[in-house]
Structure 1
Amino acid sequence: MSPSNLPPPPPLAPRTRRGALALPGIRNIGMAQPLDWLARGARDMRRGGWLSLLHGLVPAAFGGLLVLLARDRFWLLAGAFSGFLVVAPVLATSLYAISRAIERGEPVNLRLIVNTWTRWQFSRYAARGGYWSMVRFGLLLALAGTGWVLTSAALITLLAPEPVNSPLDFLRHIVLAPGHYVFELWLTMGGLMAAPIFASSVIAMPLLLDRRVDVLQAVLTSWQAVLTNPLPLVLWAALIMVLTLLGLGTLLLGLVVVLPLLGHASWHAYRDLVDASALPERLPPEGAA
């Protein structure tokens, strides 16, 4: 089909008469629902097989390389690994696609992964509400992650009572240092930066993948989900943090399982929290599926 004969794009989500963005409905969920997301995520990970585990193996290998290259600059490692949590929702995009395919009874294969990461390039209508929305959101998260890496590095370098060059130095001079509050300050600043990022991204990437919305709609919907269900999503944030720390604490080997588990579970979080039935689907471009 030639470009001139392509059908018009499906409409974006409607706006109200005052010009405000019309957001999808948000469902109320139970306090224990995040545990169900993990259970369903584990089921999808088993069905995704090696393709799911690959999403954990590659970041774990990259983390190992980072440790090898920056083993004497722990201030950089601390910021880099915590910054990784910021951009993780973007890296999990193809895990959302796997879960969606399983949900729809569609085949899960390498072509699905490749198309998820490349087909936005061929979207004629990518300028508004298209695949570039996902790219723009990813860039915003990457900027936020870079900002935290620089902030973390500056805090540890400038305020630590002794040079921090290893995990043991971090434990001794930052976490357990008597009379100093660098660790508390580091945690507080990290929390202040992480909370709005979590609220902006908890369901934004799955929504951008699944429906033709723009970045602002996705972010506002994500905030609305958090404000509607604050306690369950606080639990969800805590589970993400604990499982990620377990993955890091097992010499990064646990990340091979933890990252795909959280990615698949995040898809089910989106499906339970958001009623997106009134929004147009984001269909693959002609010939790209």
Structure 2
Amino acid sequence: MEGHPYPDIRRVTVDQSTLWLAAGWRDFKANPVVSLVYGLLFTIGGYALVLGLGQMGMQSLILPLVGGFMLVAPILAVGLYEASRRREANETVRVGICISAFRRNPIQLASYGLTLLILYLTWLMLALLIFAVFYNERPPALDSFLIEVLVAPQAPLFLIVGTAVGGVLAWVAFSISVVALPMMLDRDVSAIYAMAASVEATRKNTKVMIGWAAMIALITLVGMATFFVGLAIALPLVGHASWHAYRAMIGSRP
């Protein structure tokens, strides 16, 4: 496994983010079956989450669970990174191969996944605490949940606090993810090394990475706003584009 020092980290420019999306879209079109299988799994998972929580009367968990999805999304997109990696290397791209991408670095990918899970659970606990502070009554019914919560007098402050806390955790997750997962597929590195390199890449390209994170969040939110249908395209696009962002900042192995 690789150790320090970090690999050469390139500086990137704001306009390159559109190139990453364009390259991601080419990967999507070149491997539509793999991309749509992953995308539909995200869509179905979104529906199952909302409907399941509604049936259990746990509507107050819907917003934090769905909102926290972006904290764990990077590990769920490993197969999409693998599809882009294989296409770049002129290797066969199939659903089964991409789903089994974890085999390339299983222990380190699992360790990284555990880190994201801890962040996700931290967000969930904080979100529930924030909700309890602002809304101490029984959660409203699913069909009126958003309306009743968002029209309450305390809604503006609730949204400000929740967004601030979620934003901090989302930035932490993004900083340790932006090149870490593609790197663990591309190189024989540890999770700690990959996360440290990812943080360094984010630090070296802070302004560009803020814009890239905002773009990812916007694309994901648009997908969610279409009742999760748009996630079938949005998340595979972001997953493929993330591989090209990694390549732009880290490059190929020497």
Q: Normalising by structure 2, report the TM-score.
A: 0.91
In 2, Cα distance between equivalents of 1:184 and 1:210: 39
The one of 16, 39, 45 aligned to 1:62: 45
The one of 237, 245, 254 aligned to 1:261: 237
In 2, Cα distance between equivalents of 1:261 and 1:180: 33
In 1, Cα distance between equivalents of 2:160 and 2:133: 15
Residue 160 of structure 1: CA displacement?
2.2
- 8 A contact 1:133–1:214 mirrored in 2: yes
> Percent identical across equivalent pairs?
31
The corresponding residue for 1:93 is 78
The corresponding residue for 2:114 is 139
Residue 219 of structure 1: CA displacement?
0.8
Number of matched pairs: 251
Question: For 1:196-232, what per-residue CA distance to the aligned partner results, in whole angstroms no more than 9, with x for missing partners?
Answer: 1211111110001110111111011111111111111
Distance 1:173 1:162, change over 3 A: farther
- 8 A contact 1:87–1:145 mirrored in 2: yes
- 8 A contact 1:74–1:167 mirrored in 2: no
Give the letter aligned to residue 67 of structure 1.
V
Query: Which is worse superposed, 70-79 or 184-193?
Result: 70-79
Matches within 5 A, 1:1-289: 12-14=1-3, 21-71=4-54, 72-117=57-102, 119=103, 130-160=105-135, 163-165=138-140, 166=142, 168-174=144-150, 177=153, 181-278=157-254
* Unaligned runs of at least 5 residues, structure 1: 1-11, 15-20, 121-129, 279-289
In 1, Cα distance between equivalents of 2:175 and 2:12: 16
In 1, Cα distance between equivalents of 2:15 and 2:236: 21
Q: Normalising by structure 1, report the TM-score.
A: 0.81
- 8 A contact 1:38–1:265 mirrored in 2: yes
- 8 A contact 1:83–1:149 mirrored in 2: yes
Distance 1:32 1:151, change over 3 A: same
Give the letter aligned to residue 150 of structure 1.
M
Q: Which has the higher helix share?
A: 2
SS at match of 1:25: coil
- 8 A contact 2:176–2:195 mirrored in 1: yes
Of structures 1 and 2, the larger Rg is shown by: 1
In 2, Cα distance between equivalents of 1:190 and 1:29: 26
- 8 A contact 2:74–2:181 mirrored in 1: yes
Question: For 1:63-112, what per-residue CA distance to the aligned partner results, in whole angstroms no more than 9, with x for missing partners?
Answer: 10111111243320111112211111111101011001111111111342
Residue 171 of structure 1: CA displacement?
4.6
Two-structure CA RMSD over aligned residues (Å): 1.9
Residue 150 of structure 1: CA displacement?
2.1
Question: For 1:15-66, what per-residue CA distance to the aligned partner results, in whole angstroms no more than 9, with x for missing partners?
Answer: xxxxxx2111111111111111111111101111111111110121011011
- 8 A contact 2:33–2:95 mirrored in 1: no
SS at match of 1:213: coil
